[in-house]
């Protein structure tokens, strides 16, 4: 039986369905949730699917159809425990990816379905479709559920699918090998949905004046490092004070702007990281690299994080060990300078 047949069978048996994705949701997380929501509502109108994301609203994507149906919550466990007979987990497989309160999750009485393009280890679901050789979870949803049903591809769902694929592939900059299938797939989706790609890409690249101010700070804080053991790298950071001036979404958007336009595009510096606060008690370190440079997924794992070969991240609590963002930068830089890292 195909994944699609099994998925449909589980949905037929379900009534209340929670669709979730990771904290700090990006374009792929949001698009994959909306793609599943659309699919279930279209084919099974008597079901009750709901999207929950543990985040402030990410308004950059508010032009997408059904965006208004996303429930933005502070504590995901409180919302979904015991209230749903099926939980669909997207763009992640570890519980800690979905909620800061993941230790409170109780899915014992629920059917769990996972669709993800990250390597999945040590987690068991009733049904899973995991393939790290595709560009995005949204692409995996399209190939697993939408292919063979072209009548489902309206302009609205085509836009949703393309947003997930385009944003998670770095606007097609960072795809190779099997992941290059994202190109003909995107062409097919755009044709079916009559999408103007130029207009869509502009929507995705727009930024605000506040985001530009934060971006300028990241450029001002740029530091370049030469290492005897590894490739030269760059890094930048934002201190906790930025939380008092700007919203978390503005900070994350500026961080993404920096990662896309600076972090691996300075001549002779093929990789690096950026540290940004996620709250007054936690910071994130995002690594970026290019082919032939450092495998940042393995580096992030050394700090309890993970991700892809060229894009990965980890988080650090601010506590008695890591008192400030500078302590964390020092810890990361010291490891890079003292240990030979594996290449991508």
- Same domain for 190 and 314: no
Listed residues 182, 204, 226: the one ending a domain:
204
Residues 52-77 have a mean pLDDT of 94
Report CA torsion sign: 272, 301, 144, 14.
negative
pLDDT in tens, 182-225: 999 999 999 999 999 999 999 998 999 999 999 999 999 999 99
Q: Sign of the CA dihedral 234, 240, 244, 249?
A: positive
Q: How far is CA 316 from CA 7, 59, 266, 276, in A?
A: 36, 26, 27, 10
Distance CA 276, CA 254 (A): 10
Q: Do 266 and 127 belong to one domain?
A: no
Q: 3-state DSSP helix/strand/coil percent for the chain, to nearest 5? A: 45, 20, 35
Q: What is the CATH number of the domain that holds 73?
A: 3.90.1640.10
> Would you say residue 84 lies in a domain?
yes
Identify the bridge partners of residue 222 per DSSP, sorted by sequence position: none
For residues 15 and 44, membership in a common domain is answered with: yes
Mean pLDDT, range 25-34, rounded to an integer:
96
Asked if 254 and 119 sit in the same domain, the reply is no
Query: Do 171 and 258 reside in the same domain of the chain?
Result: no
| Domain end position, chosen among 204, 230, 259 | 204
Same domain, 172 and 65: yes
Do both 169 and 223 map to the same domain?
A: no
Both tokens of 283, joined, read: 């910071």
CATH of the domain at 286: 3.10.310.30
**Are residues 17 and 33 in contact, defined by beta-carbon separation less than 8 angstroms?**
no
Whether 276 and 164 map to the same domain: the answer is: no
Over the chain, what is the mean pLDDT? 93
Task: Supply 290's token pair.
Answer: 């290019």
Same domain, 183 and 287: no
Which residue is listed with tokens 């290492």? 227
Indicate whether 80 belongs to any domain. Answer: yes
Confidence of residue 122 (pLDDT cuts 50, 70, 90): low
Last residue of a domain, one of 204, 233, 249: 204
Residues 6+ apart with CB under 8 A from 145: 4, 7, 39
Q: How confident is the model at residue 326 (pLDDT cuts 50, 70, 90)?
A: very high
Stretch 240-262: mean pLDDT, rounded? 93
- Mean of pLDDT values over 336-344: 90
The reply to whether 344 falls in a domain is: no
What domain range is 89 assigned to?
3-204
| Measured CA distances, 209 to 60, 219, 282, 297 (Å) | 14, 15, 26, 32
Provide the phi-psi class of 34: left if phi over 0, else alpha when psi is between -120 and 50, else beta: alpha
Q: In what order do the strands lie in the sheet with 233-237?
A: 223-225, 233-237, 271-279, 282-288, 311-317, 306-307
End-to-end CA distance of the chain: 36
- pTM here? 0.84
Comparing 36-40, 77-81, 154-158, 216-220, the range with the smallest average pLDDT is 77-81
* Number of domains making up the chain: 2
283 domain residue, yes or no: yes
Q: What is the pLDDT of residue 108?
A: 85
Q: How far is CA 158 from the centre of its chain?
A: 19
In-domain check, residue 296? yes
Q: Check whether residue 18 and residue 151 sit in a common domain.
A: yes
Do 139 and 221 lie in one domain? The reply is no
Residue 18 lies in a domain: yes
- What would the DSSP string read from start to end of 91-121? S--SGGGT-TTGGG---TTSEEEEEESS---
Judged against a pLDDT cut of 90, whether residue 62 lies above it is answered with yes
The answer as to whether 343 is a domain residue is no
The reply to whether 122 and 196 lie within a common domain is yes
**60 within a domain of the structure (yes/no):** yes
**Mean pLDDT value of segment 76-88:** 91
């Amino acid at each position: 039986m195909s994944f699609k047949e099994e998925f449909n069978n589980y949905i037929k048996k379900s009534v209340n369905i929670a669709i979730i994705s990771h904290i700090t949701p990006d374009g792929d997380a949001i698009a994959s949730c909306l793609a599943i929501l659309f699919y279930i509502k279209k084919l099974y109108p008597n079901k009750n699917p709901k999207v929950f994301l543990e985040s402030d609203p990410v308004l950059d994507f508010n032009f997408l159809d059904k965006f208004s149906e996303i429930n933005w919550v502070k504590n995901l466990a409180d919302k979904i425990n015991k209230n749903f007979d099926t939980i669909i987990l997207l763009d992640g497989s570890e519980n800690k990816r979905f909620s800061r309160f993941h230790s409170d999750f109780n899915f014992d009485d629920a059917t769990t379905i996972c669709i993800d393009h990250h390597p999945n280890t040590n987690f068991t679901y009733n049904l899973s479709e995991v393939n790290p050789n595709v560009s995005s979870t949204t692409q995996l949803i399209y190939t697993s559920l939408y292919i063979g049903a072209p009548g489902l591809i309206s302009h609205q769902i085509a836009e949703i699918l393309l947003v997930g694929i385009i944003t998670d592939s770095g606007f097609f900059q960072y795809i190779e090998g099997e992941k290059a299938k994202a190109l003909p797939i995107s062409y097919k989706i755009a044709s079916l949905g009559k999408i103007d790609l130029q207009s869509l890409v502009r929507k995705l690249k727009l930024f605000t004046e506040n985001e530009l101010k934060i971006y300028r700070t990241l450029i001002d804080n740029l530091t370049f490092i030469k290492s005897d053991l590894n490739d030269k790298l760059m890094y930048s950071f934002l201190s906790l004070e930025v939380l008092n001036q700007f919203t978390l979404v503005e900070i994350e958007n500026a961080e993404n702007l920096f990662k896309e336009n600076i972090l691996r595009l300075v001549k002779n510096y093929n990789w690096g990281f950026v540290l940004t606060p996620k709250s007054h008690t936690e910071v994130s370190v995002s690594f970026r690299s290019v082919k032939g440079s450092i495998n940042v997924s393995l580096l992030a794992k050394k700090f309890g994080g993970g991700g892809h070969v060229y894009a990965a991240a980890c988080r650090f609590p601010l506590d008695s060990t890591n008192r400030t963002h500078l302590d964390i930068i020092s810890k990361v830089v010291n490891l890079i300078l003292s240990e030979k890292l594996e290449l991508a």
